[in-house]
Structure 1
Amino acid sequence: MRKCILPILPVLLAAVITGVFLPAGPARAQSSVAADPRDQEIQLLKTEIQKLESRVDTLEGLDQKVKVIDRKLEVQQEAEQQHALVMPIVKASEKGFSLASPNHDYNINLGGILQGDGRFFTSGSDKDVSSTFFLNRVRPILTGSVAKYYNFNITPDFGQGKVVLQDAYLNITYWDYASLRTGKFKAPLDLERLQSDRDLEFSERSEIQNLVPNRDTGFDLHGKLADGRVFYDAALMNGVPNNTAADTTDLDNNDGKDFVGRIFTTPFELGENEWLKGLGFGIAGSYGDERGSTTSVYKTYGQSTWFSYNSGVTASGLRARLEPQLHYYWRGFGLMAEYAQDQHSLNRNTTVHGKYVNATDTFTDTGYMAQGSYLLTGEDASYGWVKPYHPFDPRNGWWGAWEVAARISNIATQTREFQLGFANPSLSAKIATEWSLGVNWYLTANIKWQLDYANTYFNGGAGTTTEPKDRPNESVFESQLQIAF
């Protein structure tokens, strides 16, 4: 029996062990399977968090690099700005050459005008002039501003064998409606005189210049009103003879001064009506007390003297000028017209038949001018310069701008000046009338060639005192080549 039981014991033991442990195995397996999804989600979330943390670390690194680059750019821009604050602005164009501070508060502009002329008389030239080539104007022009509001102009002239300071003034320009100019400059009176020498339709101005001043020294309160459509001047000046620029001295030879006033308007300039935009008109005048040798001498287109006062005649007080004026521009057509009146008191000191004569009287000389022009090549006419649509370039078939012009001007002196012995009818004419024709060729905005013909005829000015005759007509051709910038 014992022998039978002993071999069975290992089998029973194995069965018991198997019965005990086998049921537990599947239960644990099922429990493990049930927990796997949560563990996996947690593990996935941990993985994603680790990835996000890695990306954040990467972005933080990139952000630091961007900040470093931005700072480098800021430093570079600051350096460039500092460099720009000290570097001047240099420009060169058809308007000249300029050097300016970055904010334009300080600047210097270099311009100039050079005119080479040829003048040839065909009849009537006076003994004091002859046919000749000459340099009419040689003017370096230095302008600029200091501290933004203080502008200056210095213009010497080396033309015609003389050295003259044409302009030298300071202009204070805080407000457009009220600026103050002081120094030597064009008296603000005559429309044709105020036009720049560069922009003239003819190489010489009209006869009416014999009744108005050129340049003078003093103060001028001036400005623009109504959006730039009204211009005014109110000047106090030394007073000079007509058509002179105080060439020899800028000092006055008497205590009296001239008041010069002008108002000019272009009322339709900002409107839409093209027929009226170019219309401008105004009136100017002067009033003063002039004494001493400030008497006027009247000259022709060819610069020969046709009227002067007798020896011993001097200015003795009143001098009053009046001048209505206008211009009109429409497309290629231009028109300028003026009337001038000069009232002046004179004193005559002389000896007649051994007796001393001292006589004082007041006389009035009058004059007018009318000038028309037309641009044949389609450019717009204006009071300023002409810029050709196509500068001269024969290789491309461009010939610049072409213009024709005509003018008539006249001066009539008062007959009483001759009757009372202030002027000699055999030496000075009573009336001079000039008519002129011109052709202007604008090769570029800076180069202009002019060819003019002028004929002036007179009433009186020759013969004898008792039997005066008319002075012979003066006819003259004048050609001018100009460079201006």
Structure 2
Amino acid sequence: MSSQLIKSLWLLPLLAVAGTAVAEDAPTVDQLDQRIRVLERQLELQQEDADTNARKTATVSASDKGFTIQSADNAFQFRFRGLMQADGRWFLDDKAPRTNDGFLLRRVEPTFELTFSRILFLRIQPNFAPDSATVSDVYGELRLDPAFYLRAGKFKEPIVLENLQASAGIKFNERGLPNEIGPNRDYGVQVGGDLLGSTLSYAIGVFNGAPDGRDGKQQPDTDNRKEVAGRLFVEPFKNDPGLLQGLGFGVGGSCGDKNGSGDSSQVKYRTPGQNTFFSYLAGSGGTVAYDGAETRISPQAYFYRNRYGLFGEYIVSRQKVSLASDSATLSNKAWQVLGNVVLTGEDASYAGIVKPKRALGKDGYGAVELIARYGELEIDKDAFPIYASPTASANKARNWAAGINWYPLANLKIGLDYSQTGFDGGAASGDREDEKLLFTRFQVAF
């Protein structure tokens, strides 16, 4: 028998004793099962604590569209956005009276948007521009479904196509002549939504009644009458990629009654340079007043395809006015066509260029687009000379404009455009002097 085997036999008693001790200390199957259950419950409690903490923890994010704070379950959200437009206006060949050139802040608009419980929305947008400080938008909105919302407060009436564009997305420094015929913002209540896969949008509301081209006033109406405004817009191929995907068309309009005490002195139709070229008579000889029904209708359409964009709109406003013993229903109308092409290949859209493909400083120079516009505004011939002075107010304005916009970054736009407006009448010697105007813009938006 070898010495190695003898040594192994001596170890057998020791191994037997150790095995017995281990067997005595080893847990039973029931004990192992109990321990597993305890561990599983501990893990469940830890997960519940983690979920509770996650629901209590807000997240903060930033993007080209603003800064957002939201709860982990997305039920509550706060978003901060902003717009700053620093403009230059340079009038050319102006003789008498000369118009002042210079720089100005056109809009300084911080925007605060809050969402509560996913369905209640609040928007507050003041404008801190020195010469026109006001609260642009302030309204609450109950969003029960994409097909239905209820809005109340101060906001834009749903009529004019270009007016409904966000100020950061308009192509020229100033909106076109149809915006002088339609109302701007007003106080009221509106319902609306999107139907049929968002191919049909609708809005209808009741408002105090804003004058042409102006905001409505907050104080109660002295005539206790209201204005109903609405809009239907269809994008039939929105969800079908193809040639006609960017086609949209619709109609907006309003009707109201300002019988008895409506003062039309607020109606002052302006040029792109914000100079008044038409107003109703007001003074010692009497003031023209609204004296009955007022209706507006505005057919409108746009088409965007790749880098090309085109939109057009028409609006007619019928107003019954009076002065002393005279009264008449006047029809003032305006229209425009606006086109743009993005030279650097980004897609054109109604919302504007969202982001350049190759931003400045990232192997690129940003996005560049060319823009052009033509429009007219015509006053009813029956307005002269009883309700407006033919030597002080023009009966027609024709505007054409062209320019270039550069988007070095997603949040920056630098624009240069030329605008020229000609008139029929409006001066003692015949036609009012043409307005020739060079615009510049430095815009920061997020």
SS in 2 for 1:79: helix
Structure 1 gap ranges (5+): 1-48, 350-357
Aligned CA distance change for structure 1 residues 123 and 430 (closer, same or farther; 3 Å): same
CA–CA separation in structure 2 for the residues paired with 1:321 and 1:192: 16
Measure how far apart 1:71 and its partner are: 4.2
* Contact 2:120 2:142 (8 Å CA) reproduced: yes
| Structure-2 residue corresponding to 1:285 | 253
CA–CA separation in structure 2 for the residues paired with 1:50 and 1:127: 115
Q: 2:398 aligns with which of 433, 445, 453?
A: 433
| Structure-2 residue corresponding to 1:120 | 90
* Contact 1:129 1:303 (8 Å CA) reproduced: no
| Structure-2 residue corresponding to 1:348 | 323
| Structure-2 residue corresponding to 1:323 | 298
Measure how far apart 1:462 and its partner are: 0.5
CA–CA separation in structure 2 for the residues paired with 1:105 and 1:294: 46
* Residue 448 of structure 1 pairs with residue 413 of structure 2: yes
* Contact 2:187 2:218 (8 Å CA) reproduced: no
* Residue 483 of structure 1 pairs with residue 444 of structure 2: yes
TM-score for both structures, normalised by structure 1:
0.82
* Residue 335 of structure 1 pairs with residue 310 of structure 2: yes
Please tell me the residue identity of whatever aligns with 1:230: L
Measure how far apart 1:314 and its partner are: 1.3
Aligned CA distance change for structure 1 residues 454 and 286 (closer, same or farther; 3 Å): same
What is the correspondence of 1:23-422 to structure 2 with a 5 Å cutoff?
Answer: 57=27, 69-124=39-94, 127=97, 129-246=99-216, 249=218, 251-272=220-241, 274-290=242-258, 291-295=261-265, 296-311=267-282, 312-349=287-324, 358-386=325-353, 387-393=355-361, 396-419=362-385, 421-422=386-387
Moved over 6 A (4+): 49-56, 58-62
CA–CA separation in structure 2 for the residues paired with 1:398 and 1:126: 46
Deviations 1:208-237 (A, max 9, x none): 111100001111111111111001111111
Q: Which has the higher helix share?
A: 1
What is the aligned length? 422
* Contact 2:303 2:309 (8 Å CA) reproduced: yes
Aligned CA distance change for structure 1 residues 434 and 250 (closer, same or farther; 3 Å): farther
* Contact 1:288 1:320 (8 Å CA) reproduced: yes
Measure how far apart 1:74 and its partner are: 3.0
Aligned CA distance change for structure 1 residues 71 and 415 (closer, same or farther; 3 Å): same
Please tell me the residue identity of whatever aligns with 1:276: L
SS in 2 for 1:426: coil
In our comparison, the structure showing a higher alpha carbon Rg is: 1
Please tell me the residue identity of whatever aligns with 2:251: I
Structure 2 gap ranges (5+): 1-18
CA–CA separation in structure 2 for the residues paired with 1:252 and 1:163: 23
Deviations 1:218-261 (A, max 9, x none): 11111111111001111111111111113x64543421111111
Please tell me the residue identity of whatever aligns with 2:391: S
Aligned CA distance change for structure 1 residues 126 and 177 (closer, same or farther; 3 Å): farther
> For structure 1, which segment, 79-88 or 408-417, has the greater mean C-alpha deviation from structure 2 after superposition?
79-88
Deviations 1:356-402 (A, max 9, x none): xx211111011110000000111111111311111111xx4310110
CA–CA separation in structure 2 for the residues paired with 1:406 and 1:385: 15
TM-score for both structures, normalised by structure 2:
0.89
* Contact 2:56 2:72 (8 Å CA) reproduced: yes
* Contact 1:240 1:294 (8 Å CA) reproduced: no
Aligned CA distance change for structure 1 residues 130 and 288 (closer, same or farther; 3 Å): same
Aligned-residue sequence identity (percent) comes to 34
Superposed CA RMSD: 2.4
